[in-house]
Amino acid sequence: MGPDRGGRAVWPCNRPQPAAARPGGEGRAARVTGARATEGAALAHRAGMLWRIATFNIRHGRGLDGRVDLEGIRRVLERASPHWAGLQEVDGGRRRSGRVHQARWLGMALGRAWFFHPTLHRGGAYGLCWLGPPVPPAGSGVVAVEAQPLPSRWEPRACLWLRVSGFGPQDEPAWLGVTHLGLGAAERRAQARALAEQAARLRQEGPVVLVGDFNAPAEAPELAPLRAVLASAAAARAQAPATYPATGGAGGEPCWVVAAGGGSSRGAGGSGGGPRRGDREGAPQSGPAIDLIWVAGLRVVELQVLDHGASDHRLVQAVLGCL
């Protein structure tokens, strides 16, 4: 799926185009939704919407028990129920994961649109993935897809960007990026600089959200270029919860990590996702917070961390709202 900056809808292979995205479909869509009062109500609703955006390094589905089990990854994502999930270390037909195209499998299992960008071809593909909402909000859709190569010293690195419409009260688009930075500080510095330059350009078109495994905490010196353009979702917290390593959840089930200094809040994630009353909660563990969410043009309502045993990284989710 190549870059498309022309404003046309871009859809992955497991989702049919809606009527408005097909040639000649605009008139039919307008007749269905066309009343101005309805459009005004939709805009007002969108202004108050909260978006759950997650980042999750799935380690090709290999859990803490050493077994590759995509069903465990599916359960974690279903429990968190993000609108958009950016995944790293996703296999596409590699022997170690049973030749399964994992982005496609997860998309089909969860009923979500999926977008996959391979950064490495070695006995199959390996790379980054976005999973979209199971039921996209009215007026929301992917209108552009871009893969940004990053300067890399060893393993090839990249960022997969989606331009998603319907993120603001005026139906403005937002850019969502998912990435996975290198293991060396000098390499990460060059990659952060390239990402910051791209984010600054994209910010001129609307809000920007960048998620991923950065292999460094948000305050690391090499990530300074990103801090100059974007705000870390964890910046307002006295202490960011550890995101690595995952420790298995509670009783073998995914559990939300208690926020440092006062517990996790309830209900901020909107219906269908985030912590709820009666959930099991795990105590915060020592370790780095390297799975990060960066934001510009949106406000951070809450940061949530889900512990589990399906991978070696915890799932991190930000609840975002309009400014």
pTM: 0.82
In three-state form (DSSP H/G/I as H, E/B as E, the rest C), the secondary structure along 79-103 is: HHCCCEEEEEEEEECCHHHCCCEHH
Buried-state track 64-80, b at ≥16 Cβ within 10 A, e below 16: beeebbbebbbebbebb
pLDDT at 77: 97
Nearest Cα to 180, choosing from 208, 148, 143? 148
pLDDT at 135: 79
pLDDT at 84: 97
| Cβ-based neighbour number of residue 190 at 10 Å | 19
pLDDT at 235: 84
Q: Does domain 51-322 have CATH number 3.40.50.2300?
A: no
pLDDT at 38: 40
3-state class of 265 per DSSP?
coil
3-state class of 190 per DSSP?
helix
User: Is residue 124 left, alpha or beta, with left meaning phi > 0 and alpha meaning psi from -120 to 50?
Assistant: left
The β-bridge relationship of strands 208-213 and 174-180 is parallel
pLDDT at 46: 57
pLDDT at 285: 62
pLDDT at 133: 93
pLDDT at 168: 64
Domain boundaries, the chain: 51-322
The whole-number mean pLDDT for each consecutive block of 10 residues of the chain, a chain of 323 residues, reads 35 40 31 37 58 96 92 96 97 88 96 96 92 81 95 95 82 93 97 99 96 97 98 82 91 78 38 57 71 96 95 96 88
